Chain A
Amino acid sequence: MATIKTSEKFAVSEEGYYGEFGGAFIPEMLFPNVEELQSRYLAIMNDPAFQKSFDQLLKDYVGRPTPLYKAERLSAKIGANIYLKREDLCHTGAHKINNTIGQILLAEKLGKRKIIAETGAGQHGVATATVCALKGLECEVFMGEKDIERQAPNVARMRMLGAKVTPATSGSKTLKDATNEAIRAWINNPTDTHYIIGSVVGPHPYPDMVARFQSIISAETRKQLVEQTGSELPDYVFACVGGGSNAAGMFYNFLDESSVQLVAVEAGGLGVNSGFSAATTALGKTGILHGSKSILMQTEDGQIVEPHSISAGLDYPGIGPLHAHLFKSNRGIFLNATDEEALDAAFELCRLEGIIPALESSHALAGLNKLNFKPDDVVVVCLSGRGDKDMSTYMQALEERTK
C-alpha cells in the first residue's frame, strides 16, 4: 500500500473532528490508551515495513484484490451498469478483515498481548478471532446476548478459532451494549490490551484509522474501473451503513470527486416511522455515544434508543462521525431500506447472479431501487459480506413467502 491519500475536504482534524462531529469524549481511565493510539497510529501506518506486512497479508491471506464484477442480469433489471465490489470473497466472508489485519499489526507494534473486540453480526468478531489466531494473541469478543442467539454460526466460528465470546447482558443486548462492555473491559485492562473497534465509530483516532484500513476497497475499485470502463470514476457508489466501515472504505477515495454520488443505505427496519428502525439520519440528532459526537437515535432527554434491524450488523443507534458529516454537508445521499426490501434484494441477487449476500449488504442492493439512473450510469455497490451467516433468517423468509 502506498501511503493512504487523505481527502482535502473531508479529512479528520487534529482533534479528531469531521466538521462538527467526532472528537474523543472518553473517561480519564481510557486516556492513556487512546492518547497512545492518537500519537502513534499515523507514524506506524505510514512506516514502509508496516505497509509491506499489511499488503502481503491482504494479498496472500485475505485474497485481495477482491473482484469488481459487472452484474449483467442485475444491470439489465435496474437499467444501469451495476458493478459489485466483492468484499464477500475476502477470507472470513466480509470486508471486516481488512481492518482487523491492520489493527493486529498495529497492536503488535504497540506491544499489546491481549485483544478485545465488540461484534454485532459476528463478522467483525470472526475477523478479529482470525487475526488473533494468526498472531497467537489472546482474544475476547463481546457480543450482545440477543445477537449470540441470532448469529449462531459466527459464534461457533469464533469459538473454533480460540476466542472467548462474552455475552453483553446489559441494555438492549445488541451491538451498542457489546460496545459498552468492550470499552469497560478496556478500562479494566489499561496496559496490555488493544481494543479492535470494528467500525468507523468510537473516540478519535478510531474512525480515521478504521477508514484508512478499509480505504483499500475504493483504492482497488478505482483501478479496476479504469480497466473495465476506461474511467476511474463511477457515477454512484452504494454501501450499507450501520456504524459505516464498509461505506467509509467504499467512499474514501471518492470523497473529493464531486462527480461521484456517495449513497449510504441505512436499515429502515419495519419502516422509519414504525418505532422499530435503525435509520439514524432519518430519526436521530446530534449527541455523544461511545466516545464521539455524531448523529444518534435518542429520546428528548438524551437516552439512547434501542434500534431495530433484521440485520444484526446494522442494528446500531448511531453512525460514524465521518458519515454524520457527509450527511450534514449534503456530500452523501442517505437512503434507508426496510427489512422486507433488504430480503427482496437478497433473493433477487441470488436468482439473477448466483450470489447470496449478507443481510447488511442486501440493504445497499435494495437502495438501487430507490434512485433513477440513466442507462449509461456506472454504479458500484459494495457487497460487503456473504450470506452464509444469515441462512436461517433467509430460510424463514423463504418459507413465509412460499406459503
Chain B
Amino acid sequence: MSLEQLFIDKPKNILSIYYTAGYPNLEDTVPMLEVLQKNGVDLIELGMPFSDPLADGPTIQNSSLEAINNGMTVKKLFEQLENFREKVTVPVILMGYMNTVLQYGFEAFCEDAASVGINGLILPDMPKYEFEKTYKAVIEKHGLKFIFLVTPETSVERVLELDKLSSGFIYAVSSSSTTGTDKDMDLVKNYLQKLNSLNLKNPVVVGFGIKDKESFNDASEYANGAIIGSAFVKQISSAKDRFQDAEAFIKSLF
C-alpha cells in the first residue's frame, strides 16, 4: 500500500511503530514486520542502526549497537528485505543517519530501497540545504518519499518550507528532545493544534515520548497518527520472547 492510500483509507489514529532492524536477533527483521502488520500496525519505521545516533536516546542507541554487533549492515538489510513485500503490505519507511547511507552510496541506496519495496526515508541529519541542492532529485527519481521532522521550536515559516519539501507525511517531534523522553501532554496538544491551523499539505504523524494507549490516543487526537519507538524497542529485548512481547505490547494499545 502506498503512503497516500494509507492516509486516505485511515485519516485518523494511524499507529506507527519504530523497530530497529536486526534486533534482538539478526534475522528477526522480516518476521518482526510480519508480527507488527498482523497485530494492526498501520505504518512501520524500520531503523537502520548507526553507532552514533544523535537524535535518539539510550534505548534506541543500545538496540542499534546490539544490531550492529549481530552483523546488521545496510547491505544485509536489503538482502533480508529482498522478497518481504510478499508477506508485508503496510507502508515501510527506512529511518537512519546520513553516514551509513553515504557509505553505501546515496543513489545505490535509493535504488535498492525502491526495488525491495520501501516507501520512503527519514534521515534526521539531512539538512534542508543539502536536500534541495543534491539529494531531492535522486530520492524522487526512485519514487521514494522523504519525511522531514518539525519541532515545537521550528518557526512557522520553516514548518511551511519543510512541509513543501516533505512527501508522505510530516514527522512532528512532540517536543525538542531525543527519543525516549517523557513529555507534558498539554504542551504537545497546543503545539499540534498550532500545526493543524497551518493547513499543511502533508498528514502529520507525531512522535517522541509516546509510550502507551493513553499517550497514543492523546497524540492522535490532534494529528493523523502517532509513532511509538523507544517504548516498543524496550519491550522486545528478550531474544527468546520478542515476538510474543511485541504482540502483547501492540494489543495493549487498542
Are A and B physically bound partners? yes
**Which residues from chain A sit less than 8 Å from chain B, CB to CB?**
15, 23-29, 31-32, 170-171, 176, 180, 183-184, 187-188, 190-191, 286-291, 296, 298, 300-304
Q: Is B102 in the interface zone, CB < 8 Å from A?
A: yes
For the complex, what is the distance from the CA of A367 to the CA of B176, rounded to whole Å?
A: 45
Instruction: Write the nearest CB–CB distance from A330 to chain B, whole angstroms.
Output: 24
Contact of B127 with A289 in the complex, beta carbons under 8 Å: no
Chain B residue at minimal CB-CB distance from A301: B73
Q: A23-B130, A184-B178 are in contact. Are A287 and B154 (CB under 8 A)?
A: no
Chain A residue at minimal CB-CB distance from B98: A288
Instruction: Write the nearest CB–CB distance from A272 to chain B, whole angstroms.
Output: 21
**A residues less than 8 Å from B54 (CB atoms):** 26-27, 180, 183-184, 187, 290-291
For window 74-132 of B, CB contacts with A under 8 Å fall at: 74-75, 97-104, 124-127, 129-130
Select B102's contact among A23, A27, A300, A302, beta carbons within 8 Å: A302
For the complex, what is the distance from the CA of A288 to the CA of B104, rounded to whole Å?
A: 13
Q: A190-B176, A291-B125 are in contact. Are A25 and B50 (CB under 8 A)?
A: no
Q: Is B65 in the interface zone, CB < 8 Å from A?
A: yes
Select A29's contact among B104, B153, B158, beta carbons within 8 Å: B153
**B residues less than 8 Å from A24 (CB atoms):** 127, 129
Select A303's contact among B50, B124, B126, beta carbons within 8 Å: B50
Q: Is B206 in the interface zone, CB < 8 Å from A?
A: no
**B residues less than 8 Å from A300 (CB atoms):** 73, 103
Q: Is B173 in the interface zone, CB < 8 Å from A?
A: yes
Of all A-B residue pairs in the complex, the 3 with the closest CB atoms, nearest first, are: A302-B103, A302-B100, A190-B176
Contact of B100 with A26 in the complex, beta carbons under 8 Å: no
For the complex, what is the distance from the CA of A302 to the CA of B127, rounded to whole Å?
A: 19
Q: A27-B55, A31-B154, A187-B177 are in contact. Are A298 and B99 (CB under 8 A)?
A: yes
Chain A residue at minimal CB-CB distance from B100: A302
**A residues less than 8 Å from B68 (CB atoms):** 303
Contact of A188 with B177 in the complex, beta carbons under 8 Å: yes
Chain A residue at minimal CB-CB distance from B150: A28
10 A-B contact pairs sorted by A residue (CB < 8 Å): A171-B52, A180-B52, A184-B54, A187-B54, A188-B178, A286-B102, A287-B102, A301-B104, A302-B100, A304-B52
Q: Is B169 in the interface zone, CB < 8 Å from A?
A: no
**A residues less than 8 Å from B162 (CB atoms):** 28
Contact of A176 with B181 in the complex, beta carbons under 8 Å: no
